[in-house]
């Protein structure tokens, strides 16, 4: 069966670069060890995140953005993930700044029409199927888009005493995930102009583009609080993502 990604109509010359911002401190998680290095099924959480990207045949390079003072990366063994992996120690004060450092690292080789996938270090449960679906759906897209899931719960807005101020209509609301995949040149331009955003799609929207929402999986959760790590472990234990 042909690879659903490489068999798409994207010109063969278009390359795919993955950027993994991994320079956060995990303040909401509250651990001394940054959450991306916490153990998950015997390996650092970040290993699982990178394994799915490194195993994807369409992706040419996987650029991990570390904090300049990161003292954790060197303590682990990453060579089994293969030759696509590289690091830059230029993470910034915000996620957007870290992503921009990754984009700069790709600059010497990347063409404006190449694709760049940005994927949170803190999302270790991305499945190869969801990644393939994302790339296949966007293959002919002029702009790009992101994995997301439609909001499934009733939404409440709170007042300052944690009492309900309003019920918010959820029609048309989605939870944004990563990877977020955009044309390299468009994303560089958008983030250079609009860096006060929490995701790449936000910068693209501010620049006047209309990112496409591609339905993902709830299992692609972001490890934000300690309970998320236990959930991620159960998900990965019952459905390994790679190998």
Ligand X SMILES: C[C@](O)(CO)[C@H](O)COP(=O)(O)O
* Burial of 94 (C-beta count, 10 Å sphere; 0-12/13-18/19+): middle
Instruction: Decide: is 65 part of the binding site for ligand CTP (CB under 6 A).
Output: yes
Q: Is the Cβ of residue 8 or residue 36 nearer to ligand CTP in the bound state?
A: 36
Q: How far apart are CA 144 and CA 186, in angstroms?
A: 9
3-class SS at 97? helix
Instruction: Looking at residues 75 to 104 of the shown chain, list those that interact with ligand X (rule: CB under 6 A).
Output: 95
The nearest distance, CB 217 to ligand CTP, in angstroms, is 18
The DSSP 8-state label assigned to residue 211 in this structure reads P
* Burial of 163 (C-beta count, 10 Å sphere; 0-12/13-18/19+): exposed
Helix, strand, coil % over all residues of the chain, rounded to 5: 30, 20, 50
Give the tokens for residue 174: 């989605």
Contact pattern from residue 148 through residue 187 relative to ligand X, giving x for each residue in contact according to CB under 6 A and a dash for the rest: ----------------------------xxx---------
Instruction: Decide: is 117 part of the binding site for ligand CTP (CB under 6 A).
Output: no
Please select the residue that binds ligand CTP; options are 45, 52, 91, 209, rule is CB under 6 A.
Answer: 91
Instruction: Looking at residues 104 to 123 of the shown chain, list those that interact with ligand X (rule: CB under 6 A).
Output: 120
Q: How far apart are CA 60 and CA 85, in angstroms?
A: 9
Contacts of 48 (CB under 8 A, 6+ apart): 40, 41, 124, 125, 236, 241
Beta bridge partners of 203: none
Q: Is the Cβ of residue 95 or residue 183 nearer to ligand X in the bound state?
A: 95
Q: Is the Cβ of residue 10 or residue 177 nearer to ligand X in the bound state?
A: 177
113 binds, among ligand X, ligand CTP, none (CB under 5 to 8 A by kind): none
Question: What's the residue count for the chain?
Answer: 243
176 binds, among ligand CTP, ligand X, none (CB under 5 to 8 A by kind): ligand X
199 binds, among ligand CTP, ligand X, none (CB under 5 to 8 A by kind): ligand X
Please select the residue that binds ligand CTP; options are 5, 15, 24, 105, rule is CB under 6 A.
Answer: 24
Q: How many residues bind ligand X (CB under 6 A)?
A: 8
The nearest distance, CB 94 to ligand CTP, in angstroms, is 5
Residue ranges binding ligand X (CB under 6 A): 95, 120, 176-178, 198-199, 222
């Amino acid at each position: 069966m042909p690879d659903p990604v490489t068999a798409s109509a994207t010109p063969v010359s278009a390359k795919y670069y993955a950027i993994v911002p991994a320079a956060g401190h995990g303040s909401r998680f509250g651990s001394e060890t940054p959450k991306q290095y916490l153990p998950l099924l015997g390996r650092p959480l970040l290993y699982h995140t990178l394994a799915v990207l490194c195993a994807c045949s369409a992706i040419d390079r996987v650029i991990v953005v570390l904090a300049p003072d990161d003292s954790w990366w060197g303590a682990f063994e990453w060579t089994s993930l293969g030759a696509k992996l590289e690091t830059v120690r230029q993470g910034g004060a915000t996620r957007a700044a870290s992503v921009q450092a990754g984009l700069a690292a790709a600059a010497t080789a990347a063409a404006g029409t190449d694709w760049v996938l940005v994927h949170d270090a803190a999302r270790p449960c991305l499945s190869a199927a969801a990644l393939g679906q994302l790339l296949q759906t966007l293959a002919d897209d002029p702009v790009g888009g992101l994995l997301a899931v439609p909001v499934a719960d009733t939404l409440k807005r709170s007042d300052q005493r944690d009492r309900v101020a309003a019920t918010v209509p959820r029609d048309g609301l989605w939870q944004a995930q990563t990877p977020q995949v955009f044309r390299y040149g468009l994303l560089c331009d958008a983030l250079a102009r609009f860096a006060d955003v929490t995701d790449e799609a936000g910068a693209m929207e501010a620049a006047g583009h209309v990112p496409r929402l591609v339905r993902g999986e709830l299992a692609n959760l972001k490890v934000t609080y300690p309970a998320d790590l236990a959930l991620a472990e159960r998900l990965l234990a019952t459905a390994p993502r790679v190998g």
